[in-house]
Amino acid sequence: MISNWGNWPARSVTSKLHAGNHDLEEQINDAWAEIFRRLMTSGLTAAEYEDRLLRAHWFMAYDPVQKNWDGSKSIKQRFHLRIDPAEHKTLLGEVRAYVRSLRDSVLVFTEVFAPTQSGAFSAYPQERQAELREWAMKLPRTGVLSTFLPALMAVRLR
């Protein structure tokens, strides 16, 4: 699996952020470890799944307009240090929220793409899990999953 972690300016942000002592880099590392663990456990090891997760999450949380998505460049433009250092504390909070949201989104993402994996839909009552798996298995057959994925993620996270 090829990680977009190197493409995202997180390490640059964490080392240059003037917002007091913070554990942002540790939070980011923990989030990516969880994301990779869930993707790998679900058999979604191709780099395309990581890219799809980032894209769907971006559409869900930041900008639903597909033509505005420019991969990691969109993320870099949103979370940059070309701001007044007095605003770094706000940026720290925004990056933390992004990382937390992305980490939470991987659960939904893996349930959609690998609904038969053990633990899928475990947040739901046992009697509903089989039905949810059945419906999730039908989603990819529509051929337009990318269109609905951000909405599914948002509803599930809510």
pLDDT digits (tens, 9 = 90+) for 92-148: 889 899 999 999 999 999 999 999 988 899 999 999 999 999 999 998 888 888 888
Question: Is the model's pLDDT at 4 over the cut of 60?
Answer: no
**Average model confidence (pLDDT) for the chain?**
85
Tokens coding 43: 């058999």
Tokens coding 48: 């395309």
Domain ranges of the chain: 4-157
Question: Is the model's pLDDT at 41 over the cut of 60?
Answer: yes
Please state, as a whole number, how many other Cβ atoms lie within 10 Å of the Cβ of residue 46: 12
Q: Compute φ and ψ for 70, nearest 5 degrees.
A: -130, 40
Query: pTM for the full model?
Result: 0.82
Average pLDDT over residues 80-103: 86
When pLDDT is cut at 50, 70 and 90, the band that residue 21 belongs to is low
**What pLDDT was estimated at residue 105?**
95
